[in-house]
Amino acid sequence: MNQQPTRLSATLTRGVLEVDVQGGDVPAQSLFGFAERRNPKRAFLFVSRVLGKHIPVEPALMEQSYRALAAQIPADLPGPVLMLGMAETAVGLGAGVHRAYSAGRDDTMYLVSTRHPVGERVFARFEEEHSHASAHLIHEPSDPALAARLLSARSLVLIDDEASTGRTFVNVHRALLAAGLNHIERVVTCVLTDWSSDALGNHLGSTVEQVSLLKGRYRFDEDPTAPLPQMPETGTVAVGDWPVDPANDWGRLGTCGIEDTLGPNVRVSPGERVLVLGTGEFVWKPFLLAERLERAGADVRFSSTTRSPIALGHCIEHALSFSDNYGLGIVNFLYNVAPGQFDRVLICSETAAEAVPRSLIETLDAEVIVDGE
């Protein structure tokens, strides 16, 4: 591990962000950059270059990060092991880490927090206080065996793209314990970049172990005279006009693993520049499709739409805005994807094709692939 400290900084509209990278297995600039949130609660954003959310990424590079994180999670965690991915940004990251870690054992399960009610019973709720969409739901699995595994879990792995203060992990941990997870012996936090220092240990106790590809500290020197941005309303937690089909669930109701079933008839040419685009929380099945097309010889990038309102500048070079495909009446965004950049764009949706905004399809000259069809 590289122990040489690296200082990075970014001048934003509302202040100066400075980061001291204290240790990591990869160069800091290859793992993340900076952006500015359109959010009065927090001005800055760490933008991952390997996540496949705000910057299109090769599937193979994303898979490397999954395996690198999973390799750091202790192999001797007592089972059952509950691995929880945070909506919306880290649901695909969590699924990838779960896939890599569970290859060596059969007593794990994966569950995600969500802002889309789909199950018969909400198991827990918690807040991500700084977020543009602060409320999270965690559903109880409808499968009795998965529900039993959840309630008997002895290890908890909390997965997110980054930890700034660790407060979200503290909130979800408390919510899960209050909901009835009474057997947890060990807790692991798993992130690409960890800026939380010792905060998690102070709140979660000696049972917590922190796993990351990069760690350090940050400081934001905020300008109190800078104007606050207007943030669009993106925090809706509801069933929209285009509800999610629980029969096609990929993690909101719990899973031990998801097969590659999306777009079985999609064919690509060697070297064809293809963008596979997930929508919102629907990213893991699209990622599996992207992996398959990459193995077939295409030049593939993966990304997805998001609720997160981010200003242009720094890592955000291009932005598209459009209505969400769940019929919630909120704005969604796509970053760093310009018209004509790819030979082919595949928009993947867990809602009907008619729900995908026509403006996005036409702007990208895209095809729509619907889960379950």
pLDDT tens-place string over residues 70-126: 999 999 999 999 999 999 999 999 999 999 999 989 999 999 999 999 978 999 999
pLDDT for the residue numbered 279: 98
Asked, for residue 20, whether it belongs to a domain, the answer is no
Asked, for residue 11, whether it belongs to a domain, the answer is no
Residue 366 CA to residue 269 CA, distance in Å, equals 17
Asked, for residue 305, whether it belongs to a domain, the answer is yes
In this prediction, residue 205 has a pLDDT band, given cuts at 50, 70 and 90, of low
Asked, for residue 301, whether it belongs to a domain, the answer is yes
Please state the rounded mean pLDDT for residues 194-202. 75
pLDDT for the residue numbered 35: 96
Residue 355 CA to residue 60 CA, distance in Å, equals 30
What residues contact residue 252 under an 8 Å CB cut-off, 6+ apart? Answer: 111, 112, 114, 116, 118, 119, 139, 244, 281
Instruction: Out of 103-117, 131-145, 156-170, 194-208, pick the least confident.
Output: 194-208
pLDDT for the residue numbered 31: 94
Instruction: Out of 116-125, 196-205, 231-240, 353-362, pick the least confident.
Output: 196-205
Asked, for residue 294, whether it belongs to a domain, the answer is yes
In this prediction, residue 203 has a pLDDT band, given cuts at 50, 70 and 90, of low
* CATH label of the domain that carries residue 321: 3.40.50
Indicate the pTM of the whole model: 0.95
pLDDT of 148 higher than 70: yes
Asked, for residue 130, whether it belongs to a domain, the answer is no
Range of the domain at 316: 259-370
Contact present, 112 and 89 (Cβ < 8 Å): no
Asked, for residue 324, whether it belongs to a domain, the answer is yes
Of 3 and 45, the one with more pLDDT: 45
pLDDT of 198 higher than 70: no
* β-pair partners for 331: 323
pLDDT for the residue numbered 119: 76
Contact present, 83 and 55 (Cβ < 8 Å): no
Write the DSSP string, 162-218.
EESSSHHHHHHHHHHHHHT-----EEEEEEEEE--TTHHHHHH-TTEEEEEEEEEEE
Domain count, the chain: 1
Asked, for residue 140, whether it belongs to a domain, the answer is no
